[in-house]
Structure 1
Amino acid sequence: MIRHLVLFKLNEGVGRDDPRAVAGAKAFDELGDLIGEVEFWECAWNITERPIAYDFAINSAVADADALKRYIEHPAHQAAAGQWREFATWVIADYPF
């Protein structure tokens, strides 16, 4: 199994109530059910406010490297990630567990 973690930081001036952020969160909330390769999916807004904190997180898992590649290339994932490119930056970590 591979854990796929993503942490999003909203761009300066973009709040969680921004319509783009609301739509982006909804797109990711629905993504886990749309892509067959996903074995585990959860995402949510961060509940703490610290200078080093990110704003939104995805914690997911897929079976193997091939499944991760299919997930990343899936049109639904590309569409959801494309929304976030307009108003946020992110970091990822993929590791076996």
Structure 2
Amino acid sequence: MIRHLVLFKLNEGVSRDEERVAAGARAFEELGAKVPEVRSWECGWNVTDRPVAYDFAINSSVEDTDALGRYLEHPAHQAAVAPWAEFATWVIADYEI
């Protein structure tokens, strides 16, 4: 099993209240159910206010690295992540569990 973690940091001057950001979050909330390879799916906004904190997180799992590749290439994933490039940066970690 592979854990896929993604942490998003909104760009300077961007607020989570903006419609484009809210739409991006909604797209991620729905994404786990749209991709057959996803075994578990959680996402949400950070609830703490610390300088090192990121703003939004995805915590998901897939069966193996092949499934991870299919997830990353899935049209629903591509559509959900594309808008985030306009208003955020992110880091990822993929590891075996």
Any stretches of 5+ residues in structure 2 without a counterpart? none
- CA RMSD, 1 decimal: 0.4
Normalised TM-score (structure 1): 0.99
| Partner AA of 2:56 in structure 1 | F
**Percent identity of the aligned residues?**
71
1-structure distance, mates of 2:88, 2:38: 23
**1:8-47 residue pairs with structure 2 within 5 A?**
8-47=8-47
Shift of 1:80: 0.7
Shift of 1:21: 0.7
2-structure distance, mates of 1:80, 1:88: 13
Partner of 1:79: 79
Shift of 1:83: 1.0
Normalised TM-score (structure 2): 0.99
Return structure 1 stretches of 4+ with deviation > 4 angstroms. Answer: none
Partner of 2:2: 2
**1:47-66 residue pairs with structure 2 within 5 A?**
47-66=47-66
Q: For 1:33, what is the secondary structure of its paired residue?
A: coil
Shift of 1:84: 0.5
